[in-house]
Structure 1
Amino acid sequence: MEFVKLVTDPIVSKVFELLVEPTLRQIKYVFNYSDNIHNLEEEVGKLTDKKQRVEHAVEEVKRNPVEEVEADVQRWLTNVNNVIEDAGKILLRHEDKAKKRCFMGLCPNLIRRHQISRKASKALPIVVGAREEGNFEKVSHRITPQGIGAVKGFEAFESRTSAAVEITNALKDADVNLIGVYGMGGVGKTTLVKQIAEQARENGIVKLVVIATVTHNPDLKTVQQQIADWLDYKFDVESVEVRAARLSERIKREQKILIILDDIWAAIKLEEVGIPYGPDHKGSKILMTSRNQSVFFEMGVQKDVSLEVLQRQEAWNLFEKIVGDLKDSNLRPIAIKVAKRCAGLPILIVPVATGLKNKEIFKWNDALEQLKKFDGKGHEERVYSALELSYNFLRDEERSLFRLLGQLAPHVVVIGDLLKYSIGLGLFNQRTTLQATRDRLLKVISDLKMSCLLLEGDNHEQVKIHDVVRSFATSIASKHHHVFTAACQTELEEWPNKDFFEQCTSIS
């Protein structure tokens, strides 16, 4: 009873709080040493495992160009490294302590034991807290691409300067929403508008650029989907009208957006696609390309710009840049004639020059004679003759794949589809496994790109083909290999007879 009274005395109680409790706590560090070290080791292990799982997820994100790691995940990884490093120092002192004992090694060093146990005890909740903070539902978010990136193959030709200035000024003009660029196929309309769009984004004229290819046989759903992909927007309906309404609302959230509609052959109604402009959304700019100026008249374009073929010196400079310096070569006179017959069209100059680079003089002479046959002919004949020259330089596998490209949907081709068709048609029969066939397909695709007959796709699962080149590939397949090709939704006036189909090697 006397002891209880003593403890409950306020003065004695305060002394107990200030002196005895801290002393007991310090003693506990010594007696709980093993538990504190064991608990810290266990939690550091759990934290290290959690860190590795998050790092694996982050590495996966970094391989995906449309995903970005969340900022708090990056901060957490940095903090975790520091936490693990600090805890590791404590555990390292524990290991060193085991080797250093007082009284000639007969008993533990109590002072070091106390110090290490105390630090381990204080580090434990920090390690546990860090692990709990790493319970992320997702480590990344999808990002909307702001621009189309660097434009491959762009050359700053002087003849393009005035057109580029006109287009840029129209983009700056608040009263102009619809802008058109027209010119013959292969003159470089797409390359120019992409370059101008990227510069406009970098200069702050627009904040976001999206692009969709329309083609001569437009499918509104496809155009809608291309625009939606750039905006990271997912449709959950099939109705074109409902999709248009929802796409329009999504576009209206962007204050300064440039929408490129490439390769328009006939007038389309933008409201049916879901593209707001003018009073409906002044933040939209629509930049279109076409071979026919009358298309823009029908669509009410406020500013149209003509793009002409390259001037003779520009065409020669581009040709010589590809084939190499010919100033001291006896090939120069022939090369000048060949370049001239490419009609100032980059779509012809680049593949022809690429095909003739490092070739013997007799091949240059033969190429010149082939191109001469179409002097005075129409545009299409001259274009096809130049492309046929490049086609003739291809190897058998490259020709087979090139003809196949002419039978598929225009512009964008999925490599997975090419693989299926290649296997079905037996293009690479000498390959014994699926992986070997895919590797060979990718090699042939790479060769066609080097020949400038195939273009890079928007991602590694796609390739693109210029509409002029595809049209030529279709004609080659039809003329020389009896392939019957009809565009989707084309109405035939008369179904071909049985004899015709018996001559066909395939139907697309």
Structure 2
Amino acid sequence: MYLYNHRNNLDSLEKEVTKLKDAQEEVKNKVVAADNNVEKIKQSVTQWQDEVDSIIHEAEQLIAEKANDRCVKGFCPNLITRYKHGKKAFEIKEHNISPLLQQRNDFGEVSYPTTLEDLWLKPDKNYDLFISRDSTFKNILKALNDANVNVGVYGMGGIGKTTLVKEIGRQAKKEKIFDVVVYVEVNKTIDIEEIQKEIARNVGMKFEEETQRASKLHERLKKKEKKILIILDNLWDEFDLKSVGIPDEVDDRGCKLLLTARERPLLEKMGCPNPLQIDSLNGDESWRLFKKTAGDHVIEFSIFLINTISITLNFFFFF
């Protein structure tokens, strides 16, 4: 059989290799697209690609022998070699290429979506300059770790509330006080839907429908398998947490809130009984932050400032 059909087996193998190459190219393009989209490639897909490379290489070596396997002037190649080539071609086609083509059809997607760490969770080098905030930092972290209440932080605009609570979130995640830390900047115009979407994204939820978002999110946040910290930053007005889906009850095993605002009364209305105030940076810290921000331009700016003051004083003195 293999001897008689060796030519047909080799021709058939060549056609199947072409199909496999087409499938290989299709998968490669999908893998490149998924990789560019920062998705995780399935292990089964990577293994499939490696096996395909190996089988194509082996098959093409066998096909290359076909050109030398002809009778010339009555002289024919070794019949045993023909038999072996015919058998090998059949086996590669049936036992290797066909399963690989079928496996490709069963893949579906070649990758998994990945959950990337939010940029705000990256360390902020500027925070190390705020030595005077150390006691406030520790008090907030202790309150989040121990008390069964939501925690509030207040202070004038631009004083560093956002920088502080982001650092709290990083530390809480690093020390595994919470499994999930969600940061949402609320601002003046409260967008309930955007708050819901950001929380849902961080806890691995998807809203398949537009209805009952709050109810679904509420049930998810009530689960106790993961401790969740939700940071709602820069509140301007009071709003009902139930409209978002955030549970009213607070315990050390479930969901807890860290809220920031400019005014203490707003935080008290939002369920934070003892908000912590952030004071201004001391003079040394303000100067270090300025130098850190200005960098190489700090000297140029200082000279410009001195010259401006000098010109202004001379102007008033002259008149």
Q: Which residue of 1 aligns with 2:46?
A: 77
SS in 2 for 1:155: helix
Contact 2:149–2:251 (8 Å) recurs in 1: no
Letter in 2 for 1:192: L
Closer, same or farther: CA 360–263 of 1 in aligned 2, 3 Å: closer
Q: Distance in 2 between matches of 1:225 and 1:369?
A: 54
Report how far residue 360 of structure 1 moved. 7.0
Whole-angstrom distance in 1 between the partners of 2:283 and 2:124: 22
- 2:75 aligned residue: 106
Which amino acid is 1:183 matched to? Answer: G
2:99 to 104, 126, 129: 129
The equivalences for 1:431-442 within 5 A come to none
Q: Does structure 2 retain, via aligned residues, the 8 Å contact 1:164–1:196?
A: yes
Q: Which sections of structure 1, spanning at least 5 residues, go unmatched?
A: 1-27, 326-355, 373-508
CA contact (8 A) 1:176 1:303 kept: no
Whether the aligned pair in 1 keeps the contact of 2:180 and 2:202 (CA below 8 Å) is no
In structure 2, the CA distance between the partners of 1:183 and 1:235, relative to structure 1 (3 Å rule), is farther
Is 1:259 the counterpart of 2:235? The answer is no
Distance verdict in 2 for CA 1:142–1:215, change over 3 Å: same
> SS of the counterpart of 2:186?
strand
Q: For 1:127 and 1:368, locate their aligned partners in 2 and report how far apart those are by CA, in whole Å.
A: 82
Q: Show the counterpart of 1:42.
A: 15
Task: Tell me which amino acid in the other structure corresponds to 1:256.
Answer: K
Higher relative contact order (CA 8 A, sep 6+): 2
1:154/1:195 contact within 8 Å kept: no
Residue type matched to 2:216 in 1? R
Contact 2:127–2:163 (Cα < 8 Å) also in 1: no
The aligned amino acid for 1:170 is A
2:213 corresponding residue in structure 1: 243
SS in structure 2 of the partner of residue 108 of structure 1? coil
Change (3 A) 1:357 1:312: closer
Alignment of 1:283 onto 2:254: yes
How many aligned residue pairs are there?
307
**Please, what is the CA RMSD of the aligned residues?**
3.3
**Could you tell me which residue of structure 2 aligns to residue 190 of structure 1?**
162
One-letter amino acid of the structure 2 residue matched with residue 36 of structure 1: N
Other-structure match for 1:428: none
Letter of the structure 2 residue corresponding to residue 178 of structure 1: N
1:164 Cα shift?
2.0
Instruction: Provide the C-alpha distance between the structure 2 equivalents of 1:171 and 1:250, rounded to a whole number of angstroms.
Output: 20
Aligned partners of 1:33 and 1:113 also within 8 Å: yes
Q: Is the 8 A contact 1:256 1:283 kept in 2?
A: yes
- The answer to whether the Cα contact below 8 Å between 2:233 and 2:261 also exists between their aligned partners in 1 is yes
The 8 Å contact of residues 151 and 194 in structure 1, kept in 2 or not, is answered as: no
CA deviations on 1:451-504 (whole Å, 9 max, x unpaired) are xxxxxxxxxxxxxxxxxxxxxxxxxxxxxxxxxxxxxxxxxxxxxxxxxxxxxx
The answer as to whether partners of 1:80 and 1:130 remain within 8 angstroms in 2 is no
Residues 161-188 of structure 1 show CA distances to partners (whole Å, capped at 9, x for unaligned) of 2222222222322x43411122221122
Q: Which of 357, 362, 365 is 2:306 aligned to?
A: 365
Structure 2: how far apart are the matches of 1:227 and 1:220? 11
CA–CA distance in 2 between the matches of 1:105 and 1:361? 98
Contact residue 231 and residue 258 of structure 2 kept, 8 A = yes
Superposed, 1:347-426 pairs within 5 Å as 356-357=297-298, 359=300, 363-365=304-306
Amino acid at match of 2:83: H
Same amino acid, percent of matched pairs:
34
Distance 1:48 1:177, change over 3 A: farther
Taking the aligned partners of 1:89 and 1:261, their CA distance within structure 2 comes to 60
- Kept in 1: contact 2:10–2:89 (CA 8 A): yes
Judged with a 3 Å threshold, the aligned counterparts in structure 2 of structure 1 residues 302 and 282 are, in CA distance, closer, same or farther, namely farther
User: CA distance change for structure 1 residues 258 and 371 in 2, over 3 Å: closer, same or farther?
Assistant: farther
CA–CA distance in structure 1, aligned partners of residues 250 and 124 of structure 2: 35
Change (3 A) 1:358 1:312: closer
Aligned with residue 26 of structure 2, among 53, 70, 75: 53
Give the superposition deviation at 1:281: 9.1
- Is the CA contact (8 Å cut-off) linking 2:217 and 2:245 kept in structure 1? yes
Aligned with residue 118 of structure 1, among 84, 87, 94: 87
Q: For the residues of structure 2 that align with 1:194 and 1:100, how far apart are their CA atoms?
A: 73
Task: Report the CA distance shift for 1:360/1:310 in structure 2 as closer, same or farther (over 3 A).
Answer: closer
Runs of 4+ residues deviating >6 angstroms: 100-105, 369-372
Please list the CA deviations of residues 406-435 of structure 1 after superposition, one character each: whole Å capped at 9, or x if unmatched.
Answer: xxxxxxxxxxxxxxxxxxxxxxxxxxxxxx
Residues 2 and 83 of structure 2 are in contact (CA less than 8 Å); yes or no, is this contact kept in structure 1? yes
Secondary structure of 2:121 counterpart: coil
Structure 2: distance between partners of 1:166 and 1:370: 47
Q: Structure 1 residues 146, 360: closer, same or farther in 2, change over 3 A?
A: closer
- Following TM superposition, by how much is the alpha carbon of 1:217 offset from its aligned partner in structure 2, in angstroms? 3.5
Contact 1:215–1:264 under 8 Å retained in 2: yes
CA contact (8 A) 2:268 2:275 kept: no
2:196 to 210, 217, 224: 224
- Structure 1 residues 211, 321: closer, same or farther in 2, change over 3 A? closer
Out of 161-170 and 363-372, give the one that drifted further. 363-372
Which residue of structure 2 lines up, in the alignment, with residue 272 of structure 1? 243
Inter-CA distance 177–128: structure 2 relative to 1 (3 Å threshold): farther
Please list the CA deviations of residues 245-280 of structure 1 after superposition, one character each: whole Å capped at 9, or x if unmatched: 222123334621111101012333212221115358
Structure 2 partner of 1:162:
135
The aligned counterpart of 1:343 is none
Letter in 1 for 2:28: E
